[in-house]
Amino acid sequence: MSTIYVTTQGAVIKKVEKRFIIEFEGETIASFPDFKVENILVYGNIQITTQAIRHALNNGINIVFMNSAGKFTGKISPLESKNIYLRISQFENFRNTSQCLKLAKEPISAKIHNAVVMLQRFVKNVDEELQYKEELKRINKLVETATTVDELRGIEGEASAVYFKEIKRIITPEIKFKGRSYYPAEDPFNSVLNFLYGLLSHEILSILESKGFDPYLGFFHSVEYGRISLVYDMIEPFRPVIADSIAVKVFRKKEISQEDDFEPSPEYCYLIKDSAKRVLISNYEEKMESPLEATNGKMKPRQIAIDNVNSLARFLQNGEPFQAFRIIK
Per-residue pLDDT tens over the stretch 231-247: 999 999 999 999 999 99
Bridge-based pairing state of the strands 62-66 and 297-299: unpaired
Name the H helices within 126-261: 133-145, 149-170, 188-211, 229-235, 238, 245-252
Burial 97-136 (b: 16+ CB within 10 A, else e): eebbbebbbbbbbbbbbbbbbbbeebbeeeeeebebbebb
pLDDT band at 279; cut points 50, 70, 90: very high
Asked if 316 contacts 90 with a C-beta cutoff of 8 angstroms, the reply is yes
Beta bridge partners of 48: 13
% of residues, the chain, pLDDT over 70: 96
Q: HSE-up of 328 (CA within 13 Å, CB side)? A: 9
CATH code for the domain defined by 84-318: 1.20.120.920
Domain boundaries, the chain: 3-66, 84-318
Asked if 211 contacts 83 with a C-beta cutoff of 8 angstroms, the reply is yes
Average pLDDT over residues 274-288: 92
Report which of residues 239 and 122 the model is more confident about.
239
Asked if 90 contacts 53 with a C-beta cutoff of 8 angstroms, the reply is no
User: Using CA of residue 304, residue 235, residue 275, residue 61, what is the dihedral sign?
Assistant: positive
pLDDT band at 100; cut points 50, 70, 90: very high
User: What pLDDT does residue 126 have?
Assistant: 59
* Mean pLDDT, the chain, integer: 89
Average pLDDT over residues 77-92: 83
Same fold across 3-66 and 84-318? no
Please name the CATH architecture into which domain 3-66 falls.
Ribosomal Protein L15; Chain: K; domain 2 (3.100)
Dump pLDDT digits (tens) for 195-222: 999 999 988 998 898 888 999 999 999 8
281: which residues sit within 8 A by CB, 6+ positions away? 5, 7, 199
Helical packing angle, 97-125 and 245-252, nearest 10°:
20
Report which of residues 109 and 123 the model is more confident about.
109
pLDDT band at 64; cut points 50, 70, 90: confident
Task: State how far the Cα of 58 lies from the Cα of 300, in Å rounded to an integer.
Answer: 29
Average pLDDT over residues 250-261: 89
